[in-house]
Amino acid sequence: MKNQINNINIKKTNMELRIKDRLYLPVFLPKECNFRQFNLKKEILKKVLISDDEKEAVGLKENAETKRIEWDVEKDTPTKVEFTAEELAFLKESCEKVSDDVLPDDMWATVELVYDALSSNM
Protein backbone atom coordinates (compact mmCIF):
# COMPACT_ATOMS: atom_id res chain seq x y z
CA MET A 1 0.00 0.00 0.00
CA LYS A 2 1.46 3.35 -1.07
CA ASN A 3 0.53 6.89 -0.11
CA GLN A 4 1.37 10.08 -1.96
CA ILE A 5 3.30 12.53 0.25
CA ASN A 6 5.01 15.58 -1.21
CA ASN A 7 4.89 13.95 -4.67
CA ILE A 8 6.92 10.96 -3.43
CA ASN A 9 5.46 7.46 -3.28
CA ILE A 10 6.21 5.96 0.12
CA LYS A 11 4.79 2.74 1.53
CA LYS A 12 4.70 1.55 5.12
CA THR A 13 8.15 0.56 6.20
CA ASN A 14 9.88 -1.31 8.97
CA MET A 15 12.90 0.18 10.66
CA GLU A 16 15.20 -1.78 12.94
CA LEU A 17 15.81 0.45 15.93
CA ARG A 18 18.17 -0.12 18.81
CA ILE A 19 17.67 1.36 22.30
CA LYS A 20 19.76 4.41 21.43
CA ASP A 21 17.65 5.14 18.32
CA ARG A 22 14.45 4.78 20.34
CA LEU A 23 15.79 7.24 22.90
CA TYR A 24 16.92 9.74 20.25
CA LEU A 25 13.88 9.80 17.93
CA PRO A 26 11.62 11.57 20.46
CA VAL A 27 14.30 14.26 20.89
CA PHE A 28 13.99 15.16 17.20
CA LEU A 29 10.22 15.60 17.35
CA PRO A 30 8.88 19.14 17.74
CA LYS A 31 7.87 20.35 21.20
CA GLU A 32 4.90 22.25 19.75
CA CYS A 33 2.83 21.24 16.75
CA ASN A 34 -0.63 21.31 15.20
CA PHE A 35 -3.25 18.67 15.97
CA ARG A 36 -2.39 16.39 13.03
CA GLN A 37 1.30 16.51 13.96
CA PHE A 38 0.44 15.93 17.61
CA ASN A 39 -1.35 12.70 16.67
CA LEU A 40 1.54 11.57 14.47
CA LYS A 41 3.96 12.33 17.28
CA LYS A 42 1.82 10.40 19.77
CA GLU A 43 1.76 7.32 17.49
CA ILE A 44 5.52 7.49 16.89
CA LEU A 45 6.18 7.78 20.63
CA LYS A 46 3.98 4.72 21.27
CA LYS A 47 5.90 2.73 18.68
CA VAL A 48 9.37 3.59 20.02
CA LEU A 49 8.45 3.25 23.70
CA ILE A 50 10.84 1.03 25.64
CA SER A 51 8.79 -1.33 27.79
CA ASP A 52 9.59 -2.14 31.41
CA ASP A 53 10.48 -5.69 30.35
CA GLU A 54 12.94 -4.37 27.76
CA LYS A 55 14.44 -1.98 30.31
CA GLU A 56 14.97 -4.84 32.71
CA ALA A 57 16.37 -7.16 30.01
CA VAL A 58 19.08 -4.67 28.96
CA GLY A 59 19.62 -3.11 32.40
CA LEU A 60 18.46 0.34 31.28
CA LYS A 61 18.88 2.87 34.08
CA GLU A 62 20.04 6.39 34.81
CA ASN A 63 23.48 6.72 36.34
CA ALA A 64 22.89 8.92 39.41
CA GLU A 65 26.38 10.44 39.28
CA THR A 66 26.58 11.32 35.59
CA LYS A 67 22.82 11.71 34.92
CA ARG A 68 23.35 9.60 31.79
CA ILE A 69 21.19 6.70 30.68
CA GLU A 70 23.09 3.42 30.57
CA TRP A 71 22.34 -0.14 29.43
CA ASP A 72 24.13 -3.32 28.40
CA VAL A 73 24.66 -2.83 24.65
CA GLU A 74 25.52 -6.52 24.28
CA LYS A 75 21.91 -7.36 25.22
CA ASP A 76 20.43 -4.67 22.96
CA THR A 77 18.74 -6.37 20.02
CA PRO A 78 17.11 -4.29 17.27
CA THR A 79 13.34 -3.90 17.44
CA LYS A 80 11.37 -3.79 14.19
CA VAL A 81 9.06 -0.80 14.19
CA GLU A 82 6.59 -0.22 11.37
CA PHE A 83 5.95 3.39 10.42
CA THR A 84 3.22 4.62 8.13
CA ALA A 85 4.12 6.86 5.22
CA GLU A 86 2.75 9.86 7.09
CA GLU A 87 4.76 9.05 10.24
CA LEU A 88 7.93 8.57 8.22
CA ALA A 89 7.39 11.90 6.42
CA PHE A 90 6.87 13.59 9.81
CA LEU A 91 10.10 12.03 11.11
CA LYS A 92 11.88 13.30 8.00
CA GLU A 93 10.54 16.84 8.56
CA SER A 94 11.63 16.67 12.19
CA CYS A 95 15.12 15.51 11.23
CA GLU A 96 15.40 18.28 8.64
CA LYS A 97 14.62 20.87 11.32
CA VAL A 98 17.62 19.75 13.39
CA SER A 99 19.94 19.54 10.37
CA ASP A 100 21.72 22.80 11.25
CA ASP A 101 22.07 21.90 14.92
CA VAL A 102 25.29 20.60 16.40
CA LEU A 103 24.62 17.08 17.64
CA PRO A 104 26.74 14.11 18.73
CA ASP A 105 27.74 11.74 15.92
CA ASP A 106 25.60 8.91 17.22
CA MET A 107 22.50 11.13 16.97
CA TRP A 108 23.31 11.75 13.29
CA ALA A 109 23.40 7.96 12.83
CA THR A 110 19.75 7.87 13.93
CA VAL A 111 18.89 10.67 11.48
CA GLU A 112 20.63 8.63 8.80
CA LEU A 113 18.39 5.63 9.64
CA VAL A 114 15.31 7.75 8.89
CA TYR A 115 16.73 8.89 5.54
CA ASP A 116 17.78 5.34 4.62
CA ALA A 117 14.26 4.13 5.35
CA LEU A 118 12.84 6.87 3.13
CA SER A 119 15.21 6.21 0.25
CA SER A 120 14.52 2.47 0.35
CA ASN A 121 10.81 3.21 -0.14
CA MET A 122 10.92 5.67 -3.03
The model's pLDDT over 56-72, given as tens digits with 9 standing for 90+, comes to 999 999 999 999 999 99
For residue 80, what pLDDT is reported?
Answer: 95
Helix/strand/coil for 89 = helix
Asked whether residue 11 carries a pLDDT value surpassing 90, the answer given is: no
For residue 5, what pLDDT is reported?
Answer: 45
- Single-letter code of the amino acid located at 106: D
Residue with more model confidence, 115 or 18: 18
For residue 122, what pLDDT is reported?
Answer: 55
Which spans in 1-122 are helix H? 19-28, 35-48, 52-58, 85-97, 105-119
Given phi > 0 = left and psi -120 to 50 = alpha, else beta, which region is 8?
beta
Mean local confidence (pLDDT), 26-53? 96
Per-residue confidence band for 93, with pLDDT thresholds at 50, 70 and 90: very high
- Rounded Cα distance between 88 and 50, Å, is 19
pTM (2 decimals)? Answer: 0.84
For residue 4, what pLDDT is reported?
Answer: 45
